[in-house]
Amino acid sequence: MSMKLDAPAANAPPEAEDGVWLSCIDCDHTLAPFDDVVFTCPECGGLLEVRYADLPTFEDFEGTGVWRYDDALPVEMGVTIQEGNTPLYEVPELESETGVDHLHVKHEGMNPTGSFKDRGMTVGVQVASRLGVDRLACASTGNTSAALSAYGARSELETLVLLPAGKVAAGKVAQASLHGARILEVDGNFDTCLDIVQDLATSGHVYLLNSLNPFRLEGQKTIGLEILEQCQERTGEFPDRIVLPVGNAGNTSALYKAFRELVQSGALDEDEVPKLTGVQAEGAAPMVEAVEEGNDEINRWESVETRATAIRIGNPVNAPKALPGIRETGGTAVAVSDDQITDAQRSLAEEGVGVEPASAASVAGLRKLREQDVIGRDENVVCLTTGHLLKDPDEAAAAGGDPEPVPGDTEGVLNHLDG
């Protein structure tokens, strides 16, 4: 099946179960969804997508949170911690500064474990339970491990997380630890961790819940559905553009899939689909390189570095799904410096929106693309922020002001303030 925005919906193959099946995006090989544990196409090694015989429209959605959209998901609600239904913030100072018609921030850091990963885990762990696996695992720059550990604990399944040694923010390690995961610190970067977890999953030792798992992206798809509904309610129209940080490119892939399915169901016109615009740190920007050079695939960056640890990834596994999403929607990708990210983090904080560095990349990217006149003044823009401020308290403290020592009496404090 084509990854193009105007591709028609697929017909259900014999392998479909209750109108759900898996399909390879490269060779169109189809698989039953819940018979075997599989992460990539057994025929060609390509990425898999979850496909549906019946695609919903907005009128089919009811309730709140991720499971409001159960008609667009492969399983019914099971393991949940009330994820989703995150706020869409107005940011008037940033809106005025950037000069766009409307600017909102979709803050996924307001999910239960503080990041968008909860959306994918509520679906992915429910699928794991249906498959009958007994050990969950992920490689992580921190947020995935925190979410998987919480949902693994909730479902009473053993959880294993592989983290790059010394490269994960303390707040995220603390979450995985408190939720009872077994934490392995790997001598290598995130991509090394993912290589190992993929090997463990292929050999049947663990059930992989990184975004290579197509079921996890189904949960993340609900970000896009919420943004459309919230913007429609707030401004009377869908956003022209969604600007989002890119690490493994799972969210870019998931949002594009959500919009493709709405087009296929007739709920959304092609010209109403928001332009997907990815932002990476300059020290970890293989997706930007591919977009700028017009490549159909990314070249793996073996060495990556940025203080935005959540997007410190050199080999985005979902690039084959995300690159068509950027191009088919008329979007683009841009790289920003760490200093630009920190400046955006401070600006968001001044609006009362506290995010970790990787989240602020979206606002930094918006600023840069406005300066380049790539984003127009008349656009309705949503910036996606993916993780909470307290995910990386050290970077937050470094970006903020220093404490001021004062005497231990009222007069001394007043003298200091007046001085």
Is 415 within any annotated ligand binding site? no
Instruction: Give the integer Cα–Cα distance in Å for 392 and 290.
Output: 29
C-alpha closest to that of 183 among 158, 155, 157, 205: 158
Instruction: Give the integer Cα–Cα distance in Å for 117 and 31.
Output: 26
Percentages helix, strand, coil for the chain (3-state, rounded to 5) are 45, 15, 40
Who contacts 211 (Cβ-Cβ below 8 Å, separation ≥6)? 120, 217, 220, 248, 249, 250, 253, 317, 318
The CA radius of gyration of the chain, in Å to the nearest whole number, is: 21
Who contacts 156 (Cβ-Cβ below 8 Å, separation ≥6)? none
Is 278 within any annotated ligand binding site? no
Is 295 within any annotated ligand binding site? no
Query: CB–CB of 159/190 below 8 Å?
Result: no
Is 210 within any annotated ligand binding site? no
Is 250 within any annotated ligand binding site? yes
- Burial code of 208-241, b = ≥16 C-beta within 10 A, e = fewer? bbbbbbbbbbbbbbbbbbbbbbbbeeeeeebbbb
Is 386 within any annotated ligand binding site? yes
**Three-class secondary structure of residue 256 per DSSP:** helix
Query: CB–CB of 146/175 below 8 Å?
Result: yes
**Three-class secondary structure of residue 307 per DSSP:** coil
Instruction: Give the integer Cα–Cα distance in Å for 114 and 158.
Output: 21
Instruction: Give the integer Cα–Cα distance in Å for 301 and 335.
Output: 14
Is 410 within any annotated ligand binding site? no
For every residue of 62-89, DSSP letters joined together read -SSSGGGGGGGSSS-S-S-S------EE
Instruction: Give the integer Cα–Cα distance in Å for 315 and 284.
Output: 9
Sign of the dihedral defined by the CA atoms of residues 158, 16, 217, 250, in that order: positive
Detail the residues annotated as belonging to a binding site for pyridoxal 5'-phosphate: 143, 247-251, 386
Detail the residues annotated as belonging to a binding site: 143, 247-251, 386
